[in-house]
Structure 1
Amino acid sequence: MATAAWRANELSPDLWQSLFYTKFTTVRTAVLTPIIVVFMFVLLRVGGSRTLTQTTLLNRIFSVAVGSLVGSAALRPTTPITATVIGAGIIMGAALLVDVAYAYKLLPASWVHPGPVLVYVDGVMQQHQLHRCLLTPDKVASEVRSRGYSSLAKVYAVVLEPSGSFSVISQDAARDGLELLHDVRGFSDHMRLDAQRQAEATAAGRIGAAAAARPLPVHDSPAGWSEEQHNKPFGPDGRTVTPLTQIHAV
């Protein structure tokens, strides 16, 4: 039934007009599209190069909204050009106001900028951060491979940037300094745990060194004899004769 209806209308002029936008629709698109492009170019030059960047969630939303307006004005004859101009201006103005408020710290940074997240550091996958960012270790390994690394042993840290991209820091680069990682979420916790582990290892090393430096105890039992006692004579009670200055308390 549907095939019969299509055959009856396949040569209809209305059908071809609806498919290919004949008559004045094509002319309108050809004329208005360059005008909209020039207008958007001027608006972006006034608003700044970061207005439609995809560094934050709001910038991404503004990019999608402006693209939708421009596409609707270029392809839909029922969309007036004045409404497109006003809508694009409002969106660009809002994006500019948010960037200014963020630059001058009028808004909390967490409201606009999600901040970078540490997902891998010094041989340890940060499982808590991976769960919060809806990532898996396989995704992190894939990003490391895309940077040309064949092993995670050559990588010191992997950071998820606010734009959604990954930054991979090698072990060689980490030796030059870590000041750019102090603002990354999760790095301060890692440094605190690392310092705690180093303190525990240092304390354990001191205890071991102190135990190694202690003199061997001298006992009357054969198991505790030292080499010097084997060469000393026996007394009347069968024990070795040892000066009191050589006996150490256990």
Structure 2
Amino acid sequence: MWIDSWDAIGRVLLVGAASYGTLVLILRATGKRTLSQLNAFDFIVTVALGSTLATILLSSSVSWLEGLTALILLAGLQFVVAWSSSRLPSLRNLLTTQPALLLADGQFLPDSMKEHRLAESEVRQAVRMQGIGDLNDVRAVILETNGTFSVISSSQYGNGSALEDVRHAGRR
């Protein structure tokens, strides 16, 4: 129950160290975007890399070379998708969603909230987490492509140019 064999422990230590070092090298080679979680596809790659590393460490039926191949494949696919979507707007539109405006000038946008299956309490929580106690002090709350909320106060809004690509921002 506590230990199957010392060989298994030794394998985890050796393969774990080699896999960890390899993953660090792969991430350095593919750039910061690989773990950025800017959208759902980035998040999926992050989870898949972690799952693959765990499998390499704990499953003796997966060789280190097989695991290395899987890590390189995931990072390589992420690199190709990110590179392509940054150069081809039609591919970017296919792979990612637009950020969506949920609250404008202190007023909830019910259609947008319904579309994204969000409750007013969730948006209020995001506002409170920014240290803002009055919705009238909020110019915009945006649901970003990675699922996080951006809260822009009236004093930070400026000319609003950062909201150019936000759905519903032009319909206020």
> Shared topology, TM-score over 0.5?
yes
Q: 1:85 aligns with which of 52, 68, 73?
A: 68
The equivalent residue for 2:13 is 30
In 2 relative to 1, CA 42–166 (structure 1 residues): closer, same or farther, beyond 3 Å? same
> How far, CA to CA, are the matches of 1:75 and 1:109 in structure 2?
36
> How far, CA to CA, are the matches of 2:45 and 2:80 in structure 1?
12
Q: 2:169 aligns with which of 187, 203, 214?
A: 187
Q: Give aligned pairs, total.
A: 172
**Deviating runs (4+, > 3 A) in structure 1?**
none
In 2 relative to 1, CA 35–50 (structure 1 residues): closer, same or farther, beyond 3 Å? same
Q: Which runs of 5+ in 2 are unaligned?
A: none
Tell me, what secondary structure is at the counterpart of 2:33? coil
CA RMSD, 1 decimal: 1.4
| Structure with higher RCO (Cα < 8 A, 6+ apart) | 2
> How far, CA to CA, are the matches of 2:20 and 2:103 in structure 1?
43
> How far, CA to CA, are the matches of 1:109 and 1:31 in structure 2?
40
> How far, CA to CA, are the matches of 2:57 and 2:106 in structure 1?
52
In 2 relative to 1, CA 107–98 (structure 1 residues): closer, same or farther, beyond 3 Å? farther
Identity rate, percent: 24
> How far, CA to CA, are the matches of 1:54 and 1:147 in structure 2?
21
TM-score, scaled to structure 2: 0.94
Deviation of 1:63 after TM superposition, in Å, equals 1.3
Tell me, what secondary structure is at the counterpart of 1:185? coil
* Bigger Rg over Cα: 1
The equivalent residue for 1:165 is 148
TM-score, scaled to structure 1: 0.66
> How far, CA to CA, are the matches of 1:106 and 1:133 in structure 2?
23
The equivalent residue for 1:49 is 32
